Amino acid sequence: MSRECCGPDAPIDGPSRPTVDLITGSQLGISSTPADDHHGIDDDHDHSDSAELASWWRDRSVLVPLAAGVLLLVGYICIWTGFEIAGTLLHAVSLLAGASTFVPMAVRRLLQRRLGVGLLMTIAATGAVLLGHVGEAAALAFLFSIAEALEDRAMDKARHGLRALLSLIPETAVVSRLTGDAIIPAADIRELDLLVVRPGDRVATDGVITSGRSSIDASAITGESIPVEVGPGNAVAAGSINGGGSLLIEATASGRDNSLTTIVRLVEQAQARKGTRARLADRIAKPLVPIVLVVAALIVLFGFLVGDPATWTERALVVLVAASPCALAIAVPVTVISAIGAASRFGVVITSGEAFEQLGAVRNIAFDKTGTLTQNRPEVVQVEAVDPARANDVVDFAAALEAHSTHPLAAALLRERPEPPRASDVTEHPGQGIAGTLGSITVRVGSPRWVPAEPLAAATAAMESEGMTVIVVEADGEPLGVIGIRDELKPEARETVDTLRRQRMEITMLTGDNERTANALAERVGIVDVRAAQLPADKARAVEGLRTLGTTAMIGDGINDAPALAAADVGIAMGATGSAAAVESADVAFTGTDLRLIPQALAHARRGRRIMTANIVLALAIIVVLFPLALFGVLGLAGVVLVHELAEVVVIGNGIRAARGRAILPPA
């Protein structure tokens, strides 16, 4: 029975189903089905979440309606050839077969004092039989049951496509032990286990390479089609395919709870959360059932008052079918599930139906700079010294102090000087810089606002105008030199901004950099609206301001982006395995970091939104058109049933179109 049409047998806020491995059926720690489905879904068919999606010719929920259809056709042939009794008997058997798919559920729900479209169809079929129209009743049961079976197949196929992501995780993994290599189930991997990944193997869980060099193909997870060269220290995601070299990888997540299982969990949970259009369909469909029952009862009463009860009772039954909101109830869910599942397959995790709808309405985009537009790998670009002969001392002194810091700029200096001199008495001054001593020399390293650099003011200004972050090195109270560090833009940043402009998006860049550095980088990427020197709270306020101009998305990847992500209509986190705070604050998470996925995801969501709108309009139009035709006897029961159920099939087919989205990322 259609789950959207008939609703749940249990309260939607009841306990969730047991957590099972969607592939093997073993306990894995992710829910195979959300605790509350789109419309309080109840599965009257046995579509096991953990099983492979059965072929239609082996699916009982499809075979029973098909059998009803065959019996219906043979019955009509018998009647047309003069064997009326045999034809009527065949129609009765066809009716029983078709009705068996929805009548038991309708009765159970009625006993629980809940109404559904199945009840309307049950009343209509029963009334048709009492009026002697067994063939029409059988036709109603067949068409309704086959449409519902097709709907269930569509919903299951969309969910199955998502769960197929988990097949990217191998069933077993090779783990290095003190006693030698051992093959264990992938689900048994624990953090810090050392995985031996041979050429061509899939990585069983997230980890960091400890030895070996190879290329990693993560296209199935991130949507980024170009294999990436990796070596010691590089992170790899579960489900990635190893290239030509053997790797030793230290697991950073267990086999049951890694980035890939997180993707599936987030998207399955999304199916439980409704968007605006889903709620609109609910608001219309739910009260429509009792309204239709009341209207049908009034029509019957009118028939008794005017003296023609048989005619008006028949019309009341036709009205029951004409005004049933089944197509309306499924107009959104099949589209949302299809679209969210498709997005997850090209590296875009959308955490709710509402987020999907909002994503399709975005008109303003706010970008964080560091790690989003840039590569988040600062490099030393330029060094200027008061005494050119002491240029090496400038870098040595800075690296000596920064070796004691976790600031991102420290990594750039240590890449430049992997073995700096030893410093002592090091003290960090948050937001300003760091101080310490090298031998007898007192050294300070920090921003020009904290460490003055008057002799190098021109050099500092020039560096900042080229998008560099400048740090000043001071020795014994005198400026020694300045270092220009720049986090280079991602190669696809300009292309992405240009594409978003063609999509008529308004773009803003939010950054903690000073205004000169921020404007220099924004000019290179093509962004005009720049908000510099932004603290996390400032970014959140800026996003709130943009929301007054239209639906706004915030894109970031760090902990300091979390307030702005939460403040936006749609928070988008770059890298679902990145900052946990950013991902948890976001509505959409990209498993990869390629910015070109952003315009593709927006286009995908806009297309899905259009499909949802078209489905709702079509479902409402069918009711509006069929109701008067049924009321005034223009269409009989068979005609209304045929039109109504064909419309439902069209809605289902249209919703499935949303699953066609995919990312095609050319080389940057």
Distance CA 440, CA 611 (A): 72
CA dihedral sign, ordered 332, 43, 657, 164: positive
| Catalytic hit among 368, 487, 513, 594 | 368
SS3 639: helix
Reading phi first (left if > 0) and then psi (alpha if -120 to 50, else beta), residue 237 is in beta
Nearest to 40 by CA among 5, 72, 75: 5
Whether residue 91 contacts residue 69, with contact meaning beta carbons closer than 8 Å, is answered with no
Rounded-to-5 percentages of helix, strand, coil across the chain: 50, 15, 30
Whether residue 94 contacts residue 68, with contact meaning beta carbons closer than 8 Å, is answered with yes
Distance CA 357, CA 606 (A): 8
List the 588-590 sheet strands across, edge first. 348-350, 588-590, 570-574, 552-556, 364-368, 506-510, 529-531
Q: Taking the CB of residue 46, how many other CB atoms lie within 10 A of it?
A: 10
Nearest to 598 by CA among 572, 618, 575, 623: 572
Phi, psi of 667 (to 5 degrees): -60, 140
Whether residue 591 contacts residue 574, with contact meaning beta carbons closer than 8 Å, is answered with no
358-362-368 Cα angle (round to 5): 110
CA-based end-to-end distance of the chain: 48
CA distances from 282 to 321, 358, 517, 548 (A): 18, 18, 50, 28
Burial of 82 (0-12, 13-18, 19+ CB in 10 A): exposed
List the 469-475 sheet strands across, edge first. 379-385, 478-486, 469-475, 441-446, 433-438, 424-429
Distance CA 461, CA 597 (A): 35
Provide the token pair at 664: 């095609």
Distance CA 539, CA 561 (A): 8
Whether residue 222 contacts residue 594, with contact meaning beta carbons closer than 8 Å, is answered with yes
SS3 278: helix
Nearest to 474 by CA among 446, 501, 444: 444
Widest Cα–Cα separation across the chain: 115
SS3 534: coil
Q: Do strands 172-177 and 235-236 pair parallel, antiparallel, or not at all (unpaired)?
A: unpaired
| DSSP secondary structure code for residue 6 in this structure | H
The helices-and-strands tally (H runs, E runs) of the chain is 23, 22
Contacts of residue 376, Cβ cutoff 8 Å, sequence gap at least 6: 370, 408, 487, 557
> Annotated catalytic, 201?
no
Residues marked as catalytic: 368
